[in-house]
Every structure is written in structure tokens, then in C-alpha cells.
């Protein structure tokens, strides 16, 4: 038996964790920039920031949901073993 010391870890890994953190940081940064814009800010800048924030929010939600699906699948695999 050559493989007595082989260990298999089937716990779900946070595959998308780094991406979620990066998107969250970008989202928070954009919100801070928007909040710091005064009433005299260029309307195009404000509109662009609001658009970016909305897009980041949607993408972040989808990535988070995808990580949840990955975790559920991993848990199902663990349950089968």
C-alpha cells in the first residue's frame, strides 16, 4: 500500500473569495468618491459613478451567488462520500 498517507480534503474552498473582496473594495471606493463629490461636480462624472456602482453591485451579487452554488455542490459531494 503506497498511498496510506494520502489525505483528501473535500471541504468547499472559497474559490471566488479574492474576486469578491476586490469587487467589494472597488464598490466601496466608488461609493466614497461619489459621496465626496460636491453639488458642483460634473453631472457626467456623477452619472458615470452611479452607473459603475450599479454595475459593480450587480456583478458582486452574481459572483457571491456563484460562490454559494460552488459551496452547495461541494457539500453535496461530501455528503455522497
Is the pLDDT reported for residue 1 higher than 60? no
Average pLDDT over residues 3-8: 64
**What is the structure's pLDDT at 39?**
87
Q: Under 8 Å CB-to-CB from 67, ≥6 apart: which residues?
A: 14, 15, 16, 17, 20
Tens of pLDDT along 15-68? 788 999 999 999 999 999 999 998 889 999 999 999 999 999 999 999 999 999
Q: Is the pLDDT of residue 70 over 90?
A: no
CB 74 within 8 A of CB 11: yes
Sole residue written with cell 472597488: 26
Distance from C-alpha of 31 to C-alpha of 81, rounded to nearest angstrom: 45
Amino acid at each position: 500500500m503506497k498511498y496510506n498517507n494520502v489525505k483528501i480534503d473535500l471541504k468547499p474552498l472559497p474559490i471566488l473569495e479574492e474576486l469578491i473582496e476586490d469587487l467589494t473594495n472597488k464598490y466601496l471606493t466608488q461609493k466614497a468618491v461619489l459621496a465626496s463629490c460636491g453639488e458642483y461636480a460634473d453631472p457626467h462624472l456623477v452619472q458615470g459613478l452611479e452607473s459603475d456602482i450599479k454595475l459593480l453591485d450587480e456583478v458582486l451579487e452574481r459572483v457571491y451567488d456563484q460562490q454559494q452554488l460552488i459551496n452547495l455542490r461541494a457539500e453535496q459531494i461530501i455528503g455522497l462520500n
